[in-house]
Amino acid sequence: MKITSVDVILMDMHPADNPGWAPVLCRVYTDAGIYGDGEAALAYGNAHRAAFGMIQDFARSILGMDPLENEVIWEKLYKSSFWGQNGGPVVFSGISALDIALWDIKGKHFNVPVYTLLGGKMRDSLRCYASQLQFGWDDRKTPAITVEDYASNAMKAVREGYDAIKIDFFTFAEDGHRLKAEETTRILTPKNYDMIKRRLSAVREAVGEGVDIIMENHSYIDAQGAVQLGRLAEEYGVLYFEEPCTPTPKMNKFVADRVSVPISQGERIYTRWGYAPYFEDGSIQLIQPDIGNCGGITETKKVCDLAHIYDVGVQAHVCASPLSTAAALHLEAAIPNFTIHEQHVYCRYDYNRRLCIHDYQPENGRFSIPDLPGLGNELSEYCFAHGEVVTVR
C-alpha cells in the first residue's frame, strides 16, 4: 500500500463569537482505496496558516511511502526536515496531522479501532471535565464577568453530570474586557487577587466539595503571581493548577517547589525531548500533550509511556475538531496513567460539530470510546465544500 495524495484543508471560519478560529485538517489517500484523516491542533492563536503550509511541505515528502510504516515516516519527517530537531508547534503540528491520519489508515486496514493497535482498551469509559467555563457552558461563547456568572456556569455543567470543571479565573476583568499582558504579569495586585478569590470562592460554594475544580491560567501570569494563585488554590481544594507560568522547566520548578497543588503543563510542550526535563526535576504531576501538535499518536504515546516511569498522570489536551476528540479518546483508553479527559466548551459549538461525520459527546460526565475501525470518525463533506483545500500529489 502506498500514499498517493494528501488533501490539506484550512477552515478559516472566524465565527462572530470566536474570531480567529481556523481548524487545520488533512486527508491522506492510498492506492488501496483507504484514506485517513488528521488534524494540526493550531486552530487558535496565530499559527494556523503556518500549519496549513507545513502539512503541505511534509506531505510532498511522504508520497509513495507505505502508510502502515508510521515509525519510518515519523523519523523521516523529524530528521530530514532540518527543523524537526528541537522544533516547535508548527513543525510538530504538521507531523501530527499526517501521523494521526496514518493511524486512521492503519486501523481501517486491519479493521480495528486505534486503541487496539495501541495495545488494547484499559477502560470502557473515561471520566471527563467541563473545560473553560469562563467562556460559558452553552452553544456559543459568552464571557463570564460577575461571580454569579462563574457560579452559574459551574452549576450548568454539574447538572449535566460532570463532577469536575475547569476555569481560567483570570481571563476577563470585572468590567468585561479581556485582560492584557501588562495586567496579568509580575506580582498580582490586591485588586486582581481579590477578584480571582471571589470567583473561585463562589464556584466552590456553588458546586460543593464533591466536584473537582481545575484552575487554568494559560501561562498568562508570571511565576511570582502563579505562586500567589497556587497558594490560593490550596485553600479551595483545587485538583490541579494548569499552565501556571511560562512553560519552561525552570519556571515550572519555581512554582512547583512553592505550592502543594499538583502542576500540569503540556499544551505548549512538544515531544519526548520537550517533556523530559519536567519529568527529571519532578516539577510536573500531570501532562497535557495535544496529539495534534506534540507529534501525533506515535509520539504522544511515547510521551505518555515516559510519564508513566515518573508516576505522572495524563490528560490529553483537546481544543480542536471532533477528529481530535476521537484521537484523544483512543489514546486515553489505552494508557495506564490516564487521569481525566478534557471536554472543551468549543466542542459544543455547531461550527465545530459539523466538521466531522460523528459528533461524540459525553453522557453524565463520562465518554464512551469509539469502536469503529481507525479513529472512528472522519471529516464531513462540509470541510471539503467550505474549506480552503490544497491537494498534494
Look at residues 45, 43, 39, 50 and name the one whose alpha carbon lies nearest to residue 95: 39
pLDDT of residue 178: 95
CA distances from 140 to 135, 162, 346, 349, 350 (A): 8, 19, 8, 6, 8
Per residue in 231-242, is it b (16+ CB within 10 Å) or e — as a string? Answer: ebbeebebbbbb
Q: What pLDDT digit, counting tens, does each position of 15-29 carry?
A: 988 999 999 999 999
**Contact between residue 20 and residue 14 where contact means Cβ atoms under 8 Å apart:** yes
| Sequence-ordered alpha helix ranges (H) in the chain | 48-62, 70-80, 89-110, 114-117, 147-159, 181-184, 190-207, 223-235, 249-256, 271-281, 291-294, 296-309, 322-334, 350-353, 381-386
**For position 116, what pLDDT does the model report?**
98
User: Phi-psi bin for 74: left (phi > 0), alpha (psi -120 to 50), beta?
Assistant: alpha
**Dihedral sign, CA of 342, 348, 350, 351?**
negative
Domains of the chain: 3-112+379-392 (3.30.390.10), 116-368 (3.20.20.120)
Work out the average pLDDT over 364-379.
98
Q: What's the pLDDT score for residue 28? A: 99
Decide the pairing of beta strands 35-40 and 24-30.
antiparallel
Q: Which three cell numbers stand for residue 259?
A: 505550592
Owner of C-alpha cell 494548569: 242
Please name every residue paired with 368 in a beta bridge, in sequence order, or none if there are none.
Answer: 125
Residues 183-210: what's their mean pLDDT?
95
Using pLDDT thresholds of 50, 70 and 90, give the confidence band for residue 130. Answer: very high
Closest CA relative to residue 93, chosen from 151, 126, 49, 33: 49
Q: What percent of the chain has pLDDT over 70?
A: 100
Q: Which residues of 105-142 are buried (b: 16+ CB within 10 A; e: fewer)?
A: bbbbbeeebbbbbbeeeeeebbbbbbbbbbbbbeeebe
pTM: 0.98
How far apart CA 183 and CA 244 sit, in angstroms, is: 16
Mean residue pLDDT across the chain:
97
Encode pLDDT of 279-338 as tens digits: 999 999 999 999 999 999 999 999 999 999 999 999 999 999 999 999 999 999 999 999
Give the span between the Cα atoms of 41 and 47, in whole angstroms: 10
Q: Can you tell me which residue has the cell 460532570?
A: 162
Distances (CA, A) of 224 to 251, 347, 392: 9, 33, 48
Residue 14 has pLDDT above 90, yes or no: no
Mapped onto helix, strand or coil, the DSSP state of residue 272 is helix
pLDDT per position as a tens digit, 79-113: 999 999 999 999 999 999 999 999 999 999 999 99
Q: Do strands 313-314 and 35-40 pair parallel, antiparallel, or not at all (unpaired)?
A: unpaired
